[in-house]
Amino acid sequence: MHIPDGFLSLPIAIATFAATIVFWAISFRKVKNSLDERQVPIMGLLTALFFAAQMINYPILGGTTAHLLGGASLGIILGPYAGCISMSIILVLQCLLFGDGGITALGANVLNMGVISVFVPALLILAFNKVTKDRGLFAWIFISAFAADVFSAIFAGVELGFSVPTFQYGLNIAVSAMVINHSVIGVIEGIVTVVLIATLLKLRPDVLSKSPSLKNLQFFQVFNRVERWSASS
Residues near other proteins (CB under 8 A) are 1-7, 28, 31-35, 37-49, 51-53, 55-59, 62-67, 82, 85-86, 89-90, 93, 95-100, 102-104, 160, 167-169, 174, 177-178, 181-182, 203-204, 206-207, 231
- By beta-carbon proximity to other proteins, the closer residue of 41 and 136 is 41
Within 10 angstroms of residue 189's Cβ, the number of other Cβ atoms is 31
CB of 175 to other proteins, least distance (A): 11
CB of 203 to other proteins, least distance (A): 8
- Least Cβ distance, residue 163 to other proteins (angstroms): 11
Calculate the dihedral angle through the C-alpha atoms of 47, 49, 55, 59, rounding to the nearest 10 degrees.
Answer: -120
Distance CA 163, CA 161 (A): 5
CB-nearer residue toward other proteins: 85 or 217: 85
Q: Considering beta carbons, is residue 113 or 124 the nearer one to other proteins?
A: 113
Confirm if 2 and 94 have CB atoms less than 8 A apart. yes
State in angstroms the smallest separation of the CB of 167 from other proteins: 7
Q: How far is the CB of 201 from other proteins (least distance, A)?
A: 13
What distance in Å separates the CA atoms of residue 15 and residue 108, rounded to the nearest whole number? 8
As a whole number of angstroms, the distance between CA 108 and CA 14 comes to: 9
- DSSP string for 119-172: HHHHHHHHHHHHHHTTTTHHHHHHHHHHHHHHHHHHHHHHHHHTTTTTS-S-HH
Nearer to other proteins, 18 or 93 (CB): 93
Question: Based on CB atoms, which residue is closest to other proteins, 32 or 130?
Answer: 32
